[in-house]
Structure 1
Amino acid sequence: MALFTSARTIGKRVLCLAFLALFCASPLSVNGAVPALPAKDQPVLSIHGSNTVGAKLAPMLIAGLFEAQGLQSIKIASTKENEQRISAIDSKTGRTLYALVAAHGTGTGFAGLGNGSADLAAASRPIKDSEYDSLASLGNLRSAQSEQIIAIDGLAIIVHPNNRIASLSVAQVAGLFAGEIRNWRELGGDDLTVELHARDDQSGTYDTFKELVLGTQNKTLAGSALRYESNDQLSQTVISRPGAIGFVGLASVGSAKALAIADGDSEPMLPSTALVATEDYPLSRRLFLYAKPTAQSDWTRAYLDFAHSAAGQAIVEKAGYVAQAITAIKLPAQPDMPQLYQDLANDARRLTVNFRFDEGSARLDNKAQRDIGRLIDYLQRADKQMNAAVLVGFGDARGDSARTELLSKLRAMAVRRELARGGILVKDINGLGDQLPVASNTPSGRVKNRRVEVWLY
């Protein structure tokens, strides 16, 4: 799968194209009216949860919303560790409005929703079954009204900049963090003791790492690992320790060295913009906001709408994450590809959007439902509404191969149906079954392999 290695080289160009796509899009529609004001001295919005979302992105989006609403003198100030107050003045009334962000880990966000202290739960992983069940009285927190994907992040495995190791498999990363590989020379590196640095148990970043790395290899984190509440603090420690290894969100890599990661039969992939945007990178993940399905305040709805807007997604990029903007990338053909895929690679460009599905299902998930609208807008702006797009469906290597191939085509047909409702006539659809996996045949890997790619002539 050498196409992924080649795709890494175009990351910077894709980022530039993403900015163009965002800023050329229609601006956020703002009617100039500030949403209803709360009682005096009460926050207009309170967000609890993920440090990955809350340390930078959530406050920046609040500041952007305040600016879009015409508020003045916008300030972001730390009130205590991992908590921020974003304030602004409403020039019409002279009132100071403010919002609060408490970024103490994904689990605290769902607790805040449950006890009423939070309007939104920020999460760097999907809601767990136990959390969903305990909050059932609030409504369906997995509904499209509640679960909002606002950005894509890559979980980067970082080491000291002078570490000679360039890439690792998921199995090797798991072995390191389980304490089974104790010296870098065991992996071809220098004679240095491995030092482990990990996020704390409240962190969605740790939950993601535990699921995508440790869980897939039936490992547990070594007791010697130092734990951190903050991504940035962990990254800063790693760059000061020659034997250190850690994991952080994409925005917190800083001057540390990010390693290329291989999962199963895939080639090693760096967390580049293109590979994270398509979620092909093995340790890519979605960043979420969860709201109560009903009884959302005006400010909650305004904030969610802004986060999904072109202006909001531009802030996502500025914060160091990958926006949900669609761009076209050229991938080289490889001799081990199916002929149909080689033809696409030679003559078409792949779009940086994937549609994903549950096991045995052809129903689009919550992100896919929003991505349909983004794709329709992209194709309309590019004047590619008629016979220009090709959909290629894939499945996971589990069960009967003939059924998998049929289901992969049904998934492509489901995307075609939704595009047709938006006036888009697709050129062709194909189902390649379990061919060209981008991840291992594990539960988390199969999620990535069940996909529909979009190619454009």
Structure 2
Amino acid sequence: MTRTVSNTLLRLFRVAIASVLIAGSAAQAQDVTLTSRDGTIELTGYLLTFDGEFYRVDTEFGILTIDSSGVSCDGPGCPSLGPFVAELTISGAHNMGAVLFPALVEGFALRKGYALKREEIQGVGTLYSLLEGGTGQEVARFTIKLTTSSEGFADLLSQQADMVLSMRQATTRERSLARDAGLGDLRIARQSRVAALDALVPIVSPGNPVTKISISQLAAIYAGKIQNWSELGGEDAPITPYMMDIEEGFGPVFMQDVIAAQGATLSDRVVIHPTSRTLADAIARDPFGIAMTTYTQRGSGEVVELSGGCGFSVHASRASIKSEDYPLTMPMFLYLPERRLPQVGREFLSYLRTDSAQFVTRRAGFVDQALTRQSIRAQGDRMANAVSTAGEEVTLEELQRMVRTLNGHERLSISFRFEGGSTLLDAPSRSNVALLAEALESGRFDGKQLSFIGFSDGQGAAEQNRNLSERRARAVRDQVLAQLEAFDPARVQMLIDAFGEAMPMACDDSAWGRSVNRRVEIWVN
């Protein structure tokens, strides 16, 4: 694990290092030798990075992070004595690196008053040089490598990247390798965050009469088990399924969350296209085609709603994607190693949380994470679902209590969801904890009342579900409070309530429907 060594901590290594020196172990020629100011301690090793304040050196004691103010540096690997230029490499998913992050780097430079020089590097990506506005002095270089999610993680593990852009969560193996390499735990919120949102949507040619489809039917189409539109209530015509490369972008997510989750395998009838643009063009030309693409790159295709056997349907929209009520919402992740970035890198990460960055994200065509509110009047469909699906265990009195509780409140645009059968938040929700905590610390909700409202799926007894949803609401509230550093809880009233299975978002007859229903919402008054 990477460690930060101050002058005091350096002294803790004195005995161990001195014994090595006294024993006459001649240090081999290395990139750098760092010597304490009093000359009593030396560390030799390979310089990995220097951020203008700290050296990061691979030594015989492991990878150490050392305050440059406490040591002098000798050797060919020592940084230049000239003005420090921060070097940051961002590597990963092409979809994020080609459009979203160039826009964010440019927005950051504009916000900080830097002049910007952009250079396209053949076969690599984009290099941005940030220059002081008055002097033209270069202060930072951002290199955005257009690779894949997997290659981004490989670059991080090999010390070739400072940030990873990923269209999926880090795998168990990638997390394990990162821990072994001293890069920390990629699962925790400090090292992973959601940069933007998108969603997988089925699209058809305008005029196709099929406007709703279930996840199981979708999987059956791509498995070759449903081959004619008449089986879905459409015309008597063969279905041509299209999608992009299953190894890139959201392909692996579709294969895992739709195909594999339904116990199916992909049919050889599926037509693969290299880009989302050619995919959208194919649907525009084929009146009997269906394609899996992203919400932000759907072109002129008609988005088909996802439905279930109970009659519920969920429409993909910016609002339903932002709240993750749409079941195939796809977070776009930014992963970081557990090490100190140069100051400009830390400022860039802080910028990504700002309203300015969220505006840039929207302008770039993606779904942002800016906190917005929706009135109870806009919850008509959900309230109707609550009434129509209320079983014997969900009483009229409980439904009336829910309406009274939420009346006059507005629903916040983020939700919190959980790993199956637990109160452990899933990866996007862990990122949402930080978002809400930052909004509270900024004073956005001062003088307001925030209600953490828990809901559940309909599996099991209603009273047990209500109790579980209350525990989940409390767990979310407690995690948000734990994130707050300089915050007086008296500024905002935070309440806990729960209604269990009383207001479902989707049908309980599928795993995805149940996962959508298990949630904690934030209501503001």
- For 2:523, the equivalent position in structure 1 comes to 455
State whether residues 469 and 499 of structure 2, in contact with CA within 8 Å, keep that contact through their aligned partners in structure 1: yes
Among 163, 182, 190, which residue is 2:235 paired with?
A: 190
Helix, strand or coil at the partner of 1:145: helix
Q: Shift of residue 456 of structure 1?
A: 2.9
- C-alpha spacing 1:72/1:212, structure 2 compared with 1 (3 Å): same
Verify: 1:404 aligned to 2:465, yes or no: yes
- C-alpha spacing 1:266/1:303, structure 2 compared with 1 (3 Å): farther
Higher alpha-carbon deviation: 343-352 or 158-167:
343-352
Q: Shift of residue 43 of structure 1?
A: 8.6
Aligned residues: 419
Q: Shift of residue 205 of structure 1?
A: 0.7
- For 1:272, the equivalent position in structure 2 comes to 317
Among 372, 376, 400, which residue is 2:436 paired with?
A: 372
Q: Which runs of 5+ in 2 are unaligned?
A: 1-50, 54-78, 391-398, 482-486
Helix, strand or coil at the partner of 2:101: helix
- For 1:49, the equivalent position in structure 2 comes to 92
Q: Shift of residue 316 of structure 1?
A: 1.4
Q: Shift of residue 278 of structure 1?
A: 1.0
State whether residues 397 and 441 of structure 1, in contact with CA within 8 Å, keep that contact through their aligned partners in structure 2: no
Q: Shift of residue 163 of structure 1?
A: 2.4
Verify: 1:390 aligned to 2:451, yes or no: yes
Q: Which runs of 5+ in 1 are unaligned?
A: 1-34
Paired with 2:489 and 2:121, the residues of 1 have a C-alpha distance of 45
Verify: 1:127 aligned to 2:170, yes or no: yes
Paired with 1:115 and 1:427, the residues of 2 have a C-alpha distance of 44
Paired with 2:136 and 2:353, the residues of 1 have a C-alpha distance of 28
Verify: 1:107 aligned to 2:150, yes or no: yes
Q: Shift of residue 288 of structure 1?
A: 0.6
Helix, strand or coil at the partner of 2:366: coil
Verify: 1:348 aligned to 2:412, yes or no: no
- For 1:31, the equivalent position in structure 2 comes to none
Helix, strand or coil at the partner of 2:490: coil
Quote the sequence identity (%): 27
Higher alpha-carbon deviation: 230-239 or 152-161:
230-239
TM-score (norm 1): 0.80
Letter in 1 for 2:98: A
Paired with 1:246 and 1:446, the residues of 2 have a C-alpha distance of 25
Matches within 5 A, 1:46-445: 46-75=89-118, 77=120, 79-80=122-123, 83-91=125-133, 92-95=135-138, 98-137=141-180, 138-263=183-308, 265=310, 267-330=312-375, 331-332=379-380, 333-334=383-384, 335-336=387-388, 338-344=399-405, 346-362=407-423, 365-376=429-440, 380-381=443-444, 384-385=447-448, 388-397=449-458, 402-417=463-478, 418=480, 422-426=489-493, 428-439=495-506, 440=508, 444-445=512-513
State whether residues 454 and 521 of structure 2, in contact with CA within 8 Å, keep that contact through their aligned partners in structure 1: yes
Q: Which structure features the higher share of strand residues?
A: 2
Q: Shift of residue 66 of structure 1?
A: 2.3
- C-alpha spacing 1:274/1:246, structure 2 compared with 1 (3 Å): same
State whether residues 52 and 205 of structure 1, in contact with CA within 8 Å, keep that contact through their aligned partners in structure 2: no
Q: Shift of residue 97 of structure 1?
A: 5.7
State whether residues 167 and 260 of structure 1, in contact with CA within 8 Å, keep that contact through their aligned partners in structure 2: yes
State whether residues 325 and 374 of structure 1, in contact with CA within 8 Å, keep that contact through their aligned partners in structure 2: no
Q: Which is greater in Rg? A: 2
- C-alpha spacing 1:63/1:212, structure 2 compared with 1 (3 Å): same
Letter in 2 for 1:60: A
- C-alpha spacing 1:344/1:250, structure 2 compared with 1 (3 Å): farther
Helix, strand or coil at the partner of 1:49: strand
- C-alpha spacing 1:381/1:48, structure 2 compared with 1 (3 Å): closer
Paired with 1:326 and 1:67, the residues of 2 have a C-alpha distance of 23
State whether residues 156 and 162 of structure 2, in contact with CA within 8 Å, keep that contact through their aligned partners in structure 1: yes
Paired with 1:452 and 1:220, the residues of 2 have a C-alpha distance of 34
Q: Shift of residue 349 of structure 1?
A: 2.5
Helix, strand or coil at the partner of 1:180: coil
Calculate the aligned-residue CA RMSD, in Å: 3.3
Post-superposition Cα deviations, 1:127-157, rounded to whole Å, max 9, x if no partner, equal 1212222332222111122111122222222
Higher alpha-carbon deviation: 255-264 or 170-179:
255-264
- For 2:6, the equivalent position in structure 1 comes to none
Paired with 1:289 and 1:69, the residues of 2 have a C-alpha distance of 21
State whether residues 374 and 413 of structure 2, in contact with CA within 8 Å, keep that contact through their aligned partners in structure 1: yes
- C-alpha spacing 1:357/1:422, structure 2 compared with 1 (3 Å): farther
Q: Shift of residue 280 of structure 1?
A: 0.6
- For 2:57, the equivalent position in structure 1 comes to none
State whether residues 121 and 289 of structure 1, in contact with CA within 8 Å, keep that contact through their aligned partners in structure 2: yes
- For 1:27, the equivalent position in structure 2 comes to none
